[in-house]
Each structure stands twice: as structure tokens, then as C-alpha cells.
Structure 1
């Protein structure tokens, strides 16, 4: 799993373009951009969401999931709005850990990069959840 704390989306797009061996001509036509504009995108740390959506479609890869995983691992969950008003926007549960995140945590433990206590403190994963993962996936 890539370092999700510091996402450089342009470099990740470039890496996937190279892996899939997509021609610059096809990319330019699909994104309605010039070659120079494409090369500039590769150097950017962030991209406009509409452009990122187009890249996701072209490369058949969900780049937005990288940001979702970042939020799961590094953003604290808010119990409710500070002024007590419930938002009309959909509410998502933080506890929906993907298999990639579970595998990443198991890898950290197996490689002795972090202890269980460090994972609990750094990522805010409940101790009981981490212990279930250890017994199930180790």
C-alpha cells in the first residue's frame, strides 16, 4: 500500500499510465488536453476532481479510494456537528475498514514497523477490532 499520509496523485497517475502502456495520443484525445498539459498533470500533487474522474475512467482505477483510505486512517470521526444540527448530507461510518487497510495493518505488525499499541494510538483503530483482525488474518 502506498503512503496514504502524503498522496501525490500526479505521480500515481503517471505510474499507472506507464504500467498500462497507454499512448499519449489516446490520453490527449480522452482528456481533451495537450501533451504539455498532461505532462504538467503528472507533476501536480493534486488534481481537479473532474480531471481525476476522467483519469479514473481512462485507467479503470478508483483514485478517489486513495483519499477515502487516507480519511479512514488519519481523520478523526466527528460524533455530531458542533452546533448540534444534523447535516443533510449522507453520513458515512468510519468503521468500514477495507481489506486493503486490514492487510496494511497486518503488514505493519508482521514487519515489526509498528506495535499493536502504536497502531491503536496512531490510526485510532479500536483495540478489540485490531485483536479480531490479528486472530483472523495472521
Structure 2
């Protein structure tokens, strides 16, 4: 607590109030990331990747048609996301079909992940 007080130039009661708040400004979250050496923004970016609207796929397809340059596939799924989805299957919390429908992951991709990572999780 003493380290946080010095870092934020605040009193202990102000830090405790900050922790009780329902929302924090991004600059405060960034400061907490630096202080705790943990990337809290990764949680939100992974959420956006998992729950991105299907309309974004049309944008990618449109970009393909307009250019003659080769397009490279970018791996959108981090190791944490893959492990999370495999854990859902292994614990029986969700079936493979539910994951495919809810997260819009291709069937072959999910099965490849399960073959590749299930013994490592």
C-alpha cells in the first residue's frame, strides 16, 4: 500500500476509494499496469477479439477485392484465449458445438487446437 501511495501521490484512503470505484479512467488503469507490472488492457482486447461483430468480416473481404497485394493472415487468438476455450471443453462447461456457434470459430480450427494444446493445458 505504501508503494501505491507513493506512486499515485495519494493517501491510503484515496487509494482504497479508487479501488472501490466501479470504473477507472484509462490513464489510471495504465498507472496500475505499470505499478503491478500486469497488462490489464489485454483482458479487454481479448474480449473484443472473442466477441467482435460479424460485420467486421465483410470489411476484410472488401479490402481483399480492392488490392492486388498479398494479404497475410494474422493470428487473432492468443495462447490464453486458446487455453480458455480448450478448458471450457475439457471441464464440460460448454460443448464443442456451443463454442463454435458462440465464438464463431471454424470447426477445423477448434479441433486442431484441441489436438495440439489439450495435453499441454
Bucket of the pairwise TM-score, normalised by the shorter protein: 0.7 to 0.9
Question: Which segments of 5 or more consecutive residues in structure 1 lack a partner in the other structure?
Answer: 1-23, 81-92
1:76 maps to 2:56? no
> Aligned partners of 1:66 and 1:136: how far apart in 2?
24
Give the structure 2 partner of residue 124 of structure 1: 104
Question: Which segments of 5 or more consecutive residues in structure 2 lack a partner in the other structure?
Answer: 60-72
Give the TM-score taking structure 2 as reference length: 0.76
Q: Which runs of 4+ in 1 moved over 6 A?
A: none
- Secondary structure in 2 matching 1:27: helix
**Alignment coverage as a number of residue pairs:** 105
> Aligned partners of 1:110 and 1:41: how far apart in 2?
38
Give the structure 2 partner of residue 30 of structure 1: 7
* Highest RCO, 1 vs 2 (Cα 8 Å, sep ≥ 6): 1
Where in structure 2 are the equivalents of 1:46-65 lying within 5 Å?
46-65=23-42
Cα pair distance change 1:41/1:75, threshold 3 Å: farther
Give the TM-score taking structure 1 as reference length: 0.68
Question: What's the offset of the Cα at 1:95?
Answer: 4.7
Deviations 1:15-57 (A, max 9, x none): xxxxxxxxx2210110122222211221223211111111000
1:97 maps to 2:77? yes
Question: What's the offset of the Cα at 1:94?
Answer: 7.9
> Aligned partners of 1:113 and 1:122: how far apart in 2?
13
Higher helix share: 2
Larger Rg: 2
